[in-house]
Structure 1
Amino acid sequence: MHTEVVLVRHASSIPPTAEGPDELTRPLADNGLQQALELVETLTKLRPVAVWSSPYRRAIQTVKPTAQALGLPVRTRLQLREWDDGLPYTDDWEPHYARSWADPSHARPEGESLDQLTVRAVDVVRALAHENHGRLVLAATHGTFISRALSGFGMPTDWTFWQRMPMPAIYRLRFTDPHTQPAITDDCL
């Protein structure tokens, strides 16, 4: 018997700006709302028993149409949130992210390192697998979270991998036991 946790990267969102909205409330863009609708057929075929999400609006919006089609609630879990990078808003964020990817132990004041994110991501994915033994669950989250979860489970990821990950994207993690390494299937759309 196996357990699957299907990580879904949120669809295309409106870009961040200095004026907001903040990261928690930043929504999907119009094309992202359409992408969320286009995910319904693919995700409902998997027959998930639960739909989990980061509390960030764009992640919830990505799986809400699927949850509605399945008659399931979207439940949020704080641990599925995006990386707490500790970086105040800036248009020039890429060099800061590249530095963090080059040194995953680096943490800014008030932020978490990518190594810390990896531990958080692996822990919550394992918890979802343990809580749903023998079943399949969806977990809507974010690109950096997914990249670091995959890294923590032994799949090579780096700054370039993160940059190339589409929105939305789907990664299936299949566990024979929640304590072992999962088989990972890249179902990127």
Structure 2
Amino acid sequence: MSKNIYIIRHCEAEGQADDVALTDKGFQQADKLSDFLSNLKVDRIICSPFLRAIQTIKPFAVARNIEIEMDHRLRERSLSSNFLPDWLDKLEATFYDMNLTYEGGESSNEAMNRIVEVVNEMISSQSKHMIIVAHGGIISLLLNHYDKKFGFEQWKGLSNPDVHHLEIDQNNFQMKRLWKD
């Protein structure tokens, strides 16, 4: 049985903390995203517990009367608990060494494993058409899991919001970016 998973990166937000809201533009993007998704079949929505992710999918969930399920495994990846002035270089290094960790952070493999675990549970569920709403870092690791060519440069190319479609049928999959900003 084929499964469709729509992987959505949140809309424009006011910052990176767990509880930051969408910007005014982000709320407009969330409405536009809801319209964009309106013709899709969706059985289930699983979302990061971060406010910006919830606000991104809320217009669609309300319009469709679908419960937003929170899953802490979809939270953004923590690169380090310390301030890293050269964080972009540090992040890039984690795409080449997937086990590299910085103090208080998690490796690419650790973060990837938690989002892949969510997807694997979705694949084995009864639902056929599902949405994941998360963050650029963790989403890029999921996309890398399915396509090793998806790396640091592709992460930099993600937009807010962004939508990728993952279709899985037994052990075969197809992945396609749907959002054109």
TM-score (norm 2): 0.92
Q: 2:40 aligns with which of 39, 46, 49?
A: 46
1:81 aligns with 2:70: no
Root-mean-square deviation (CA, aligned residues, Å) is: 1.6
Structure 1 residue 155, shift from structure 2 partner: 4.5
Question: Where does residue 67 of structure 1 map in the other structure?
Answer: 61
Distance 2:67 2:83 in 1: 32
- Corresponding letter in the other structure for 1:182: F
Distance 2:122 2:82 in 1: 31
- 1:149-183 Cα offsets, whole Å, 9 max, x none, are 11111341111111111110101111113xx2421
SS in 2 for 1:172: strand
Question: Where does residue 132 of structure 2 map in the other structure?
Answer: 139
Task: Give the % identical residues.
Answer: 24
Structure 1 residue 184, shift from structure 2 partner: 0.7
Structure 1 residue 78, shift from structure 2 partner: 0.9
SS in 1 for 2:124: helix
Structure 1 residue 37, shift from structure 2 partner: 0.4
Return closer, same or farther for 1:10/1:132 CA change in 2, 3 Å cut-off: farther
1:28 aligns with 2:22: yes
Question: Where does residue 19 of structure 1 map in the other structure?
Answer: none
Distance 1:31 1:84 in 2: 26
Distance 1:12 1:102 in 2: 27
8 Å CA contact retained: 1:153, 1:181: no
Distance 1:88 1:61 in 2: 28
Structure 1 residue 126, shift from structure 2 partner: 1.4
Structure 1 residue 95, shift from structure 2 partner: 2.2
Distance 1:105 1:90 in 2: 18
Alignment of 1:93-132 (within 5 A): 93-132=87-126
1:13 aligns with 2:13: yes
8 Å CA contact retained: 2:82, 2:103: no
SS in 2 for 1:94: helix
Which ranges in structure 2 are unaligned for 5 or more consecutive residues? none
8 Å CA contact retained: 2:140, 2:150: yes
Question: Where does residue 142 of structure 2 map in the other structure?
Answer: 149
Distance 1:14 1:93 in 2: 19
8 Å CA contact retained: 1:4, 1:173: yes
Structure 1 residue 32, shift from structure 2 partner: 0.7
* Number of corresponding residues: 180
1:163 aligns with 2:156: yes
- 1:115-172 Cα offsets, whole Å, 9 max, x none, are 2222222221111121144x10111001111111111113411111111111101011
SS in 1 for 2:166: strand
Structure 1 residue 109, shift from structure 2 partner: 2.5
Question: Where does residue 174 of structure 2 map in the other structure?
Answer: 183
